[in-house]
Amino acid sequence: MELNPCLKHKVLRKSVREFAEGVLGPIAAEIDHQARFPWEVVQAMRPLQYFGIQAPPDLGGAGLDTISYAIVIEELSRVSAGVGLCVSVHNSVALYPLLRFGTPEQIARLAPELISGQRIGAFCLTEANAGSDAGGVETMATRQGQDYLLSGTKIFVTNGGVCGLALMFAVTDPGAKGRAASVLMVEKERPGFAVGEIEELAGMRCNPVSSIFLEDCRVPAANLLGRPGDGLKIGLTALDTGRLGIAAQALGIAQAALEAGLKYAKERQQFGRAIAEFQTIQNYLADMATEVEAGRLLLYRACALKDAAKNFGTQAAMAKLFCSRTAREVTNLAVQIHGGCGYSKEYEVERLYRDAKVTEIYEGTSEIQRLVIARGLLSQPTAGRAV
């Protein structure tokens, strides 16, 4: 197993960092304060293939591997987690399931617009009474000839306010055991598709997270992803990949907090010397750096498994669990190092602190990650597999 990043990954990281710092850096604080979605950044990202990171080049994608994907999300999130979130969700839980489960006709019809970023993707599972419990979905898709009629309300949809294509989880056969859910791909312009109010959230504020209302929204059966009742399978597959993205995002936030903490500790003088010279602060910094490094290795290991077409679900859950906790803890320490300044909007760590928390919640809470990990553990021989 290669533990050092190869030259491609190194050059990629530098390029994305330069782009993020140059284009996103100047506005990262502002788009958070004003809860503004930066369309100008989307426009800049489109020709650079940020909306088709792993999509095949013949469809206009960049054709990169999964570690590269994680690096892109980490570096975007290091500067603006809300933008990192947009790109992560688009690539991992919208575009990826289409490419994985879509028919050639569906891919030819729907993928290019996603890959070019003309349409931003969204993933609509969560409802008032369904979240971690995918079986609780109440949105209905009623078959009418060649179409489905969709009705229901989705909440907390990342990219909700700006999405052009939404993967909608809906019950197609209420009679079936476990109320079989299916996935329908819904373009935003279909009558009956409406975006609700943008949520006022603590973090990720530049991402227009919203509800989506479906009222007799007519969608052709040709937009059904997979077969009727495949919803759970598609959802779980998408979320496995999505977790890599969220782990990468959490890692980017943690990395930013570590850097901010280091910088401040070296600059800030107390009792006549830089606070970095105090052992307590050094301990904080050492813990922060160790957590970030460990999280990165865990994440890349999961990505490498995926690239090698091995099972990676358990490792993805571990990476998501660990990196999101790391993000919360590292941002917390970074604020602590900053003292009062860290609680002020004038400093970046205040935003990082708010952005970090949700990584423990969305795309599977930490509790669900533990469930996934435990399930993986318990289904294997006690001695585990040789790694």
Partner 1 sequence: MTNSRDVWVFGDYRNYFQNRVTLQLLARGRELAQAQEGELCAVVIGHDLQQWVDEYVAHGADRVLALDHPSLTAYQGETYTSLLVDLARERKPAVILVGATSFGRELAARAAKRLGTGLTADCVDLRLDDQGRLVQTAPGFGGNLLAEIVIPRHWPQMATVRPGTFQELPHDYERQAPVEWLPLPAGLKPERVRLVKSERLAPREQALETAGVVVCGGRGMGSKKKFRNLVELARLLGGQVAATRPVVYARWCEEGALVGQAGRQIKPQVLFSFGVSGAIQHTAGIGGAPFIVAVNKNPGAVMMQMADVGLVADANQACLALIRELKKRLRS
Partner 2 sequence: MHIVVCLKQVPMVSELPWDPRTGRLMRGQAEGMMNPACKHALEAALRLKEEHGGSLTALCMGPPEAEEVLREALALGADEAVLLCDPRLAGADTLATSHTLARAIQAVAPDFDLALLGCTTTDSETGQVGPQLAEELDLPAAFNVEHLELTGRALTVRRVYDGFLETLEMDLPALLTITTQEFAPRETPLGGLERAFAQASVRVMDAEAIGASLDRVGDKGSAGRMLRVYSPTAQKKCVLLTGAVKKSVQELFERYGDRLGGLIGQDLASEEEGHDQ
3-state DSSP assignment of residue 168: strand
Task: For residue 264, state whether it binds partner 2 (rule: CB under 8 A).
Answer: no
Q: In terms of Cα–Cα distance, which of 86, 93, 29, 96 is closest to 64?
A: 96
For partner 1, the closer of residues 271 and 383 by Cβ is 271
Q: Is 25 in the site for partner 2 (CB under 8 A)?
A: no
Q: Least separation, in Å, of the C-beta of 355 and partner 2?
A: 24
CB of 59 or CB of 361, closer to partner 2: 59
Residue 15 found at the interface with partner 2 (CB under 8 A): yes
Distance CA 279, CA 265 (A): 11
Run of H or E including 120: strand 120-124
Q: Terminus-to-terminus CA distance in the chain, angstroms?
A: 10
The answer to the question of residue 133 lying near partner 2 (CB under 8 A) is no
* Catalytic residue status for 259: no
Residues 311 and 305 sit within 8 Å (Cβ to Cβ): yes
| Stretch of 10-18, 163-171, 282-290, 323-331 contacting partner 2, by CB under 8 A | 10-18
Q: Which stretch binds partner 2 (CB under 8 A): 56-64, 145-153, 274-282, 349-357?
A: 56-64
Closest-CA residue to 224 (of 179, 168, 140, 291): 168
Q: Could you tell me which stretch among 48-56, 135-143, 224-232, 366-374 binds partner 2 (CB under 8 A)?
A: 48-56
Residues 119, 193: contact at Cβ < 8 Å?
no
Residue number with CB closer to partner 2 (73 or 98): 73
Long-range contacts of 371-379 (CB under 8 A, 24+ apart): 372/313, 372/314, 372/317, 373/314, 373/317, 373/318, 373/321, 376/313, 376/314, 376/317, 377/314
Smallest separation, CB 120 to partner 2 (Å):
17
Distance of closest approach, residue 282 Cβ to partner 1, in angstroms: 21
Q: Which listed range, 51-59, 101-109, 215-223, 229-237, lies at the site for partner 2 (CB under 8 A)?
A: 51-59
Catalytic pick from 75, 291, 348, 363? 363
Residue with Cβ nearer partner 1 (197 or 267): 267
**What sections of the chain are H helices per DSSP?**
7-19, 28-33, 39-45, 66-79, 81-89, 96-101, 104-115, 231-267, 279-307, 313-338, 348-357, 366-378
- Min CB(351)–partner 1 separation in Å: 13
Q: Give me the phi and psi of 280, to 5 degrees please.
A: -60, -45
- Among the listed residues 30, 40, 43, 57, the single contact to partner 2 using CB under 8 A: 57
Q: How far apart are CA 232 and CA 180, in angstroms?
A: 8
**CB under 8 A: which stretch of 54-62, 74-82, 181-189, 332-340 binds partner 2?**
54-62
5, 63, 196, 229: which one binds partner 2 (CB under 8 A): 63
Do 30 and 24 contact (CB within 8 A), yes or no? Answer: no
Residue 130 DSSP one-character state: B
**Which of the listed partners (partner 2, partner 1, none) does 262 bind, with a CB threshold of 5 to 8 Å by partner kind?**
none
Work out how close the CB of 148 gets to partner 2 at its nearest, in angstroms, rounded to a whole number.
35
- Which CB sits closer to partner 2, 14 or 310? 14
* Contact status, residue 281 vs residue 266, Cβ threshold 8 Å: no
Q: What residues make contact with partner 1 under the rule CB under 8 A?
A: 21-22, 25-26, 28-30, 267, 269
Choose the one of partner 2, partner 1, none that binds residue 50, judging by a C-beta under 5 to 8 angstroms depending on kind.
partner 2
Q: How far is the CB of 8 from partner 2 (least distance, A)?
A: 4
Which partner, partner 1, partner 2, none, binds residue 26 by CB below 5 to 8 Å per kind? partner 1
φ, ψ of residue 228 to 5 degrees: the values are -55, 135
Minimum distance from residue 359 beta carbon to partner 1 (Å): 24
AA letter at 282: Q
Identity of the residue numbered 272: G
Q: Which is nearer to partner 1, 21 or 173 (CB)?
A: 21
State the Cα–Cα distance between residues 250 and 102, nearest whole angstrom.
29
Residues that bind partner 2 (CB under 8 A): 7-8, 10-12, 14-16, 18-19, 22-23, 44, 47-50, 52-53, 57, 61-64, 68, 72
Catalytic residues: 363
